[in-house]
């Protein structure tokens, strides 16, 4: 390990994490868009000057961005090398998901940080913009067959040169969004976060010196690698497989296989996704950077005590087959990446459950249910409500799953209904826990939720991009499956469900009509017969579980504990 004493290393690790945390907080406070300001769908970090590897990431940002932003920064490093004139004060901006991972809604800003005229590291900011053009307001287009139908595609370009903003780039961006005021607010928030990061790094290096801070960054990566190797060495050697399915790709109503083989040998691990379905016409594909980053997120869940830097992944090989929907090349559509990476995490957990069941939880609800409702107000101004929605988390070795949580790819929060109702012409008729939605088990899964949203304007269109409509979240260690996802929308002749179950484009709504989501719960952990009858009786008393369902899942023993 690099020559730095443990106390100084701990102090510097905390200081650098604080820089990233402050950058997160700066954007959250400044953003105009509720998906950033309220849901915290953004992230900031420090990245290696040569490789782009993650050095430090803020604790409030999305875990999926830890891995993908390393690819994003590397794309900027390559572009800067091609340009040959990188300078202090330059800032690159882009949203190309095939280079930087995730999807086109995530706008990335990358800024080189110089010290004494030498490149020291990169600072980066990524945030989910509300709308970036494309065929569908909010950019979750379930019928997209290429990236151009999803959003405006921006490759890495300089939005600032030596500290001077290039207004031409801003003009192009603002012309390619339905909501320029929101986009401008988010952009200024990200620029402000980068400015703050530079100031805080200046102060840190003034105090400790560049050599000491650089040594600390090297040491943190080495320590993360050693900790990961120790964790792997403590697990049994072997090879375990798991598979699951996506409902469809939004174009063809055919299930899509996600398969993994997890192998541990000594202090190394291989995650091999051979056998996964090929690239598909619809937008459930993901780019290679996203797939690798997803493996990182799953590993961080399995080994939660490890630090958030690239050293964690050095002992782990991620094999993504060419031509699979996990390694889609431009311009394949990738807008629904969230659904696919959630299934990747599910299969990694299911494979790990065979090797070390106490390390993992059962499957969470497995879909963000990206819902857009868009129209025009009475004065002609456009509005776009985009949000994601929660569900149940899987039961664990220690407890029941979390009711109505957010997806395990993130630390984001579900935007409060008060914020959504204040910002958009909608009213929530219902926002509640969904009874009988949890997977049974010694520790049951968490409950899903019910959302019913009524339109208050004259007309609007709705768009849904979800999953788990046909393949339920699985339990582990003998636990049961959770309820399926269910969506319907109201028309003059009553309620209708999408033909493809979890995806639909352009539902026409009139004033007073609504959409309704019933989200899955989490899978159960352990055999249902091992559940404490008093816990079953409590669930029935609270309305989480109907009496008939309790008897069907757990037998009659709970009735003796009922009050």
Tell me, yes or no, whether 131 lies in a domain. yes
Strand ranges, E, within 170-289:
238-246, 256-265, 268-272
Neighbouring-strand partners of residue 269: 264, 316
Q: How confident is the model at residue 248 (pLDDT cuts 50, 70, 90)?
A: very high
**What does the pLDDT read at residue 255?**
98
Examine the pLDDT at 229 and tell me if it is beyond 60: yes
Q: Domain ends where: 225, 253, 278? A: 225
Average pLDDT, the chain: 94
Residues 6+ apart with CB under 8 A from 206: none
Would 134 be classed as within a structural domain? yes
- Asked if residue 275 belongs to a domain, the reply is no
Residue 346 lies in a domain: no
pLDDT in tens, 499-549: 999 999 989 999 999 999 999 999 999 999 999 999 999 999 999 999 999
Say yes or no to pLDDT of 142 above 60.
yes
Quick one: which of 370, 400, 404 has its CA closest to 505? 370
The predicted-structure confidence for 428-441, as pLDDT tens digits, reads as follows: 999 999 999 999 99
Does 452 have pLDDT greater than 70? yes
Number of domains in the chain: 2
pLDDT band at 367 (very low <50, low <70, confident <90, very high): very high
pLDDT for the residue 47: 94
pLDDT at position 562 is 67
Residue 1: what pLDDT?
Answer: 42
Quick one: pLDDT band at residue 563, thresholds 50, 70, 90?
Answer: low
Q: CA 125, 337, 300 angle in degrees (round to 5)?
A: 65
Sheet with strand 238-246: strands edge to edge:
238-246, 256-265, 268-272, 316-319
535 φ, ψ to 5°? -70, -40
Quote the pLDDT of residue 411: 65
- The answer to the question of residue 314 being in a domain is no
Domain extent, residue 142, equals: 6-225
pTM over 0.85: yes
In a domain, 187, yes or no: yes
Does residue 318 lie in a domain region?
no
What would the two tokens of residue 448 be? 């899903």
Q: Is 231 among the domain residues?
A: no
Domain limit, last residue, from 190, 225, 260: 225
User: Is residue 69 within 8 Å of residue 100, measured between CB atoms?
Assistant: yes
**What's the pLDDT score for residue 407?**
83
């Amino acid at each position: 390990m690099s020559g730095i004493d443990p106390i100084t290393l701990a102090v510097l690790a905390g200081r650098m994490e604080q820089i990233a945390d402050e950058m997160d907080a700066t954007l959250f406070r400044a953003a105009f868009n509720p998906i950033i300001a309220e849901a915290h769908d953004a992230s900031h970090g420090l990245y290696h000057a040569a490789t782009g590897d993650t050095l430090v990431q803020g604790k409030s940002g999305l875990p999926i961005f830890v891995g993908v932003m390393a690819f994003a920064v590397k794309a900027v490093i390559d572009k800067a090398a091609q340009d040959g004139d990188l300078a202090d004060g330059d800032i690159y901006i882009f949203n190309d998901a095939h280079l930087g991972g995730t999807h086109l809604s995530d706008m990335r800003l990358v800024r080189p940080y110089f010290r004494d005229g030498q490149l020291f590291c990169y600072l980066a900011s990524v945030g989910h913009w509300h709308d970036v053009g494309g065929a569908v307001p909010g950019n979750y287009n379930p019928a997209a067959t290429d990236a151009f139908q999803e959003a405006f595609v921006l490759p890495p370009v300089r939005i600032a040169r030596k500290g001077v903003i290039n207004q031409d780039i801003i003009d192009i961006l603002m012309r390619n969004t339905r909501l320029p005021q929101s986009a401008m607010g988010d952009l200024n928030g990200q620029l402000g976060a980068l400015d703050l990061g530079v100031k805080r790094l200046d102060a840190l290096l003034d105090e400790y010196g560049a050599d000491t801070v650089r040594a600390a960054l090297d040491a943190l990566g080495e320590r993360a690698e050693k900790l990961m190797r120790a964790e792997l060495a403590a697990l049994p050697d072997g090879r375990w497989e798991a598979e699951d399915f996506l409902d469809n790709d939004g174009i063809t109503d055919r299930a899509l296989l996600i398969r993994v083989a997890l192998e541990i040998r000594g202090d190394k691990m291989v995650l091999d996704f051979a056998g996964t379905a090929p690239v598909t016409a619809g937008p459930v594909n993901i780019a290679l950077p996203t797939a690798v980053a997803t493996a990182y997120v799953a590993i961080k869940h399995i080994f939660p005590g490890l630090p958030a830097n690239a050293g964690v992944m050095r002992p782990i090989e991620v094999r993504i087959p060419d031509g699979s929907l996990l390694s889609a090349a431009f311009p394949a559509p990738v807008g629904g990446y969230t659904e696919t990476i959630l299934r990747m995490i599910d299969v990694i957990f299911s494979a790990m459950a065979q090797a070390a069941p106490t390390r993992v939880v059962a499957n969470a609800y497995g879909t963000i249910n990206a819902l857009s409702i868009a129209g025009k107000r009475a004065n002609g101004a456009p509005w776009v409500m985009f949000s994601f929605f929660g569900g149940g988390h899987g039961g664990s070795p220690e407890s029941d799953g979390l009711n109505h949580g957010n997806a395990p790819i993130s630390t984001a929060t579900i935007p409060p209904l008060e914020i959504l109702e204040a910002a958009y012409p909608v009213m929530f008729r219902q926002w509640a826990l969904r009874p009988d939605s949890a997977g049974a088990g010694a520790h049951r899964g968490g409950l899903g939720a019910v959302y019913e949203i009524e339109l208050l304007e004259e007309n609007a269109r709705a768009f849904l991009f979800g999953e788990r409509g046909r393949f339920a979240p699985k339990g582990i260690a003998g636990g049961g499956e959770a309820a399926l996802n269910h969506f319907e929308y109201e028309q003059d002749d009553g309620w209708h469900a999408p033909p493809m179950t979890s995806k639909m484009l352009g539902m026409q709504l009139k004033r007073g009509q609504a959409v309704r989501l019933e989200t899955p719960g989490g899978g159960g952990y352990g055999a249902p017969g091992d559940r404490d009858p008093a816990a079953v009786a409590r669930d029935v008393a609270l309305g989480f579980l109907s009496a008939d369902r309790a008897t069907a899942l757990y037998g009659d023993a709970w009735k003796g504990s009922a009050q």
